Structure 1
């Protein structure tokens, strides 16, 4: 079916925000908006013939303009944390806006998730959003032109692709920050979901959630998710409030790096990515003040995120893959979520 466009709302800066709907032949449907290049709805059938929206989100544009939980949006320039909000490139130290304890998280205070992107329909199954980030935005060097493309295919794949170019050397690490609940976004906790992450190693954290720089084997730890595990059987053994950790995976669009399933509905989501890491976040900070779509209260562990990425704080860790993009280079990153039921 052709992609459709309608008005979603008007931003606080008086910009018209479009909503785009992509539908495939099996009844899947994705709804996207210009604000934050956000995936505001994702409808997936189940084994009983029912269809549910499986991503958490806000009921209106105002929610996305105050999106403290980053629901559904593109985060950048750098997803995840940068220690103490600073880094150096070619001997020049850059200071960023601090927004997460002593650190910068997901690009800063008014980062990519709080910007109006320009959407463009491409064919019958794809929408591409563009945002130009000015030199110095949130403290980052260089003007960056970024695109985020969403494609919903007839083989039930949601393909998210990012491209970026810069005028100065700058770290780039883009991802979509959707919270999934395969029982439906209104269903409550995801502790009855099964998860499998094909990672031999993970990156331990300090007390501010910055990787220590070590790469440690998952064997005989709570982070060994190489076989399917019921989240509720493991999450309470994780130090702190739950999972919010980077797993070191094999970059591949042929082999899945993670798989999540919900036995009750039969829905399953497999993940593939070209990046070396994924952050498994179990929505540890949602609380009863979070009022989402359909008047739903999203409580702790009401969804889960699988964020494809360079390792957190890689710009400051010499033994991590570098996330710095140079002028003349092109940042490319593709992540695929494949659904079945």
Structure 2
């Protein structure tokens, strides 16, 4: 009888001073065995140059292992780096280079991007960080293509994310890549957070008060998610929100960070992912139930968002026939 495959091993690096929110996000998503999923979860460990580190907030954390743990990690998470103008220790940088060379996935939260930048692994690639430090990253590392208004960037095995809350977005993206949309949605519900937030960092501005009574943008999104198999227009969404089209478009971008049509396209693909994972419906039926007028339009949108074809996605995440 074949032995089961070992669990995917996630290692989070701890250095001081440790930023507890980002460190906690990694542990919450990857380190907690989730009984509601009824499946083997990640094998999680914390590693660092020291066996005990001080955290912002006045407490200390004991560390499981030294940097040798990175030698067998499948995914390595790099929380916010404490000093953007200070080069990280060379043993840490070398451990990251070796891990990347053997195919480990590297993930930075917020200013953890500076650690990857110092390692040279981002040279010639795309990356992001917190909006406050975009200019500094550009000045220090001009060889990196900085993407300044996204929540995270997947640059082929190296994922960088923006501020602390975007660490959750990037983490759920990883869960979706590893286990499919249905599992990612379940984890997001347990965290009381959206499984995916559209738009970039510019969405975090104060939204104005509505000029007349109407539904919130969040309630419109919930309503639209229940109508994805039907034709949805800006006019119908604005009507449901109790706003003029012009006001609705402005409020939608302020609240969701993108346009209604881009949001609808992505939500329809998320529904299609779930159907591909959990049903045996053929691709044409899934396209129809996800609100696409033609199979070709569906395939194009799916590849743009999921990075693969519907059939290839099903082969990877088919929960019915596997």
**TM-score tier after normalising by the smaller chain length:** under 0.3
TM value normalised by structure 1: 0.24
Query: Which has more strand, going by share of residues?
Result: 1
Q: Which has the larger radius of gyration?
A: 2
TM-score after normalising by structure 2: 0.25
Compare the two structures and name the one with the higher helix fraction: 2
Q: Which has the higher contact order (CA 8 A, sep 6+)?
A: 1
